[in-house]
Structure 1
């Protein structure tokens, strides 16, 4: 069985501490990966500091050229990357293939933005003291960006962090999820082939405490973290990084009003609730439906849910594969059972088949139940009727999270009301909160995070404004 080394300064580093990578569907060990310790982390940070100096000195066209080449390599290696994502992450084949397509797009967007980082002229003659002077704001790179990425998007989330960081002239240390490190290591190899200086290529699989030691290192200029809310806010409280970008959890909600296209709403909700077995931070978790159409929508959702194909994620026909590990599956089914004990009703699913949690729909829940107030990160959906649209908006907002929300209605006034008063980073009208394109500003409010992703917006987060005043 192959043992994969960490990558520090573009070079492979083996050590005696390793951990297994498991296939979520078969539970078989598919590889061993070296785990970085304090010595490797120290070397990676020192090397990344050198890499930051090198990247900052490169002209924008050169950074853009390397990123375009990297996007080409991602496309050339699409089949292998897809297979890796399936084997270590359990993502079904069509979703894994789509992630690779998106990743190449994200890198290409970063390449385009590398040559669009504009300076800004500042007028100085508004004051007598400024007369004759010329001033501008320059955007300069921060230095070393630490990218901590999750298992559910092991390639595209790396691209959303490393792509903008490199485009802006920073160096980047990539800490992939311990569940899916092979994708991150493969990405590091592609960076080297694309021509990035070795000092900028650092991929460090490691334990959480070692990752925290990196995040709290004063040499880290920017921490970009995607993962659970408790871990993200803990790191923010401890890190001295000048910039922190947190893309955290949610319990995304959808409102379906009585004038909506119910067939469209049901189709999109099923896709949003059960893609990657619900292991997406913007998965549809809560549905609020106007009481007059509640039975019709519920019936269609149950019918579509029961029609999903469960099985091996390698099979192109599979809709729903396994969750990332048995521990998370048991945690999810325990929440379902506790909800039922408290009076809720299972309309479909609510059980484990083999090693897959059957897609589940629950009715009769209340806001205080974990399946509503926590992020379940599993193929579980709750349905709650409402009477007035204002009541529905209040129920959506009855959450400490605020990432994205969806509203299905043909009434423009209601859509505007929802857009103004729903407390989240984005409101999608006649679509699900699970929708995302890689160029858009993406991020949340409340406990769902701070900062925005999307190459243009991430570059702004990963650069500093420097004022330059010239006295001729």
Structure 2
């Protein structure tokens, strides 16, 4: 696996720059140093914004075929160097090398879909003559870019979630400034490298590394920023909404996703899907399965099979292709997960599997009898912990699934289409997966939630809609 020792530079206004003050990037598996990145200052961020003001004009005037070409060349660049990208994802984050390779593949897809959608960013004609007295008017609307996008990205998908902001921004004619997660900045810098190599005009894209407390507010509050695209925690999202001012906001703020398993379900399929949904990427996944509601007729069978598979999960070296799960992003996060589980156990929850921590590693953990007021039942655990609840009916499952301040995605396993549509209509979520766990997504679909899970939608086409505004054109023909 690639070892990086020389300090990396950030892309600021078309130039790769270093700084004397740096941030050290560690491998969470053993806390070894990978490299350093510049610790940008407020002045650096202001410089990036000033450059983006020019870049936005360039981006808006780029012909669509040029946008398509640049994005496709960036995707080609990543495809040629895919193993290098995967190794960096695995080293700086929590993913195993197998999971990292999948993320690289998804990133390439995200960029290629962005290029395809650039050619389909069309408007519509408007029937002005629908109103009496307007028979001589014809017209249409088209989409124009908002200008400069501020993108703040998380650690858990450090390449593809950045691509989900950068690809659509360029495809729709915007400039974009990325502030990547401090813990995992290298993947975002590699994405910038791909666009630089692809010939993206300078100043359209900047990736500025640094402390969110020092440069984040500068980016979010600046009047030249016309949209903030944020993926992260609810508390930070609420703060951004308070300070951003009059600009567009798109936020994906996580969840504690529910899955419902009815008595007619294929239990083996449900268990298999929920296991990977709960413990993939160490549970550090906004779509991760956290609460499973099982009809009592199937509860014992489901629990037995689920616990058996959870105990078979191999936790260990991220570089090993046979490893199922690596460490959490930091030991501090593993300790937090441990504390949340301990609180539930003190409230008379039952531990069926896992519950063990070794530095940043935390074993796949299964709980039952968790009190409804326990933190782990109400909040996003963002770790490899799942709660199993027996329920009498679908109505009870839906009521309990909705009884939290989140609503990103949900899953339901059933062979009854009427029951499936009951869940579709009544579950308070942005997406519902039938005979799949909540942890299902393709990069082209609209993606987002309700309540504390955020606002707006990602997914390439949806993101491009968010990053543009419609302009109406009317001709009064004499």
1:62-461 matches, within 5 Å, as 62-209=66-213, 210-461=215-466
**After alignment, is 255-264 or 204-213 more displaced?**
204-213
Structure 2: 5+ residue runs without aligned partners? Answer: none
Deviation of the 1:45 alpha carbon: 0.3
Deviation at 1:129, TM superposition (A): 4.4
**Displacement of 1:354:** 5.0
Q: Is the 8 A contact 1:22 1:31 kept in 2?
A: yes
1:22 maps to: 26
Cα displacement (A) at 1:49: 1.1
CA contact (8 A) 2:49 2:224 kept: yes
Contact kept, 8 Å, 1:407 with 1:429, in 2: the verdict is yes
Residues in 1 aligned to 2:109 and 2:336: alpha-carbon distance in whole angstroms: 35
State which of 55, 59, 73 in structure 2 corresponds to 1:55.
59
Q: TM-score, normalised by structure 1?
A: 0.98
How far is the alpha carbon of 1:84 from its aligned partner?
Answer: 0.3
Runs in 1 of length 4+ with deviation above 6 angstroms?
none
Cα deviation, residue 90, structure 1 = 2.3
Per-residue Cα deviation, 1:413-459 (whole angstroms, up to 9, x for no partner): 11010000000001111110100000000000001011111111111
User: Are 1:462 and 2:467 counterparts?
Assistant: yes
1:238 is displaced (CA, Å) by 1.2
Partner SS for 2:129 = coil
After TM superposition, the score normalised by the length of structure 2 is 0.97
**Is residue 334–residue 359 contact of structure 2 (8 Å, CA) maintained in 1?**
no
Query: Is the CA contact 1:222–1:241 (under 8 Å) kept in the aligned structure 2?
Result: no
Q: Matched residue of 1:153: which SS?
A: coil
Question: Secondary structure at the residue paired with 1:423?
Answer: coil
SS of the equivalent of 2:373 reads coil
Answer yes or no: is the 8 Å Cα contact 1:6–1:35 preserved in 2. no
Q: Is the 8 A contact 2:407 2:450 kept in 1?
A: yes
State the alpha-carbon separation in 2 of the partners of residues 405 and 124 from structure 1.
Answer: 42
> What RMSD, in angstroms, separates the aligned Cα atoms of the two structures?
1.0
Structure 1 partner of 2:47 = 43
Displacement of 1:266 after TM fit? 0.5
8 Å CA contact retained: 1:223, 1:241:
no
What is the CA-CA distance between 1:241 and the residue it aligns to?
Answer: 4.9
Query: What number of residue pairs does the alignment pair up?
Result: 472
Alpha-carbon distance, 1:198 to partner: 1.1
Write out per-residue CA displacement over residues 321-345 of structure 1, whole angstroms, 9 at most, x where no aligned residue: 0000011000000111111111011
- Distance in 1 separating the partners of 2:174 and 2:360: 42
State the Cα distance separating 1:379 from its structure 2 match.
0.2
SS of equivalent to 1:282? coil
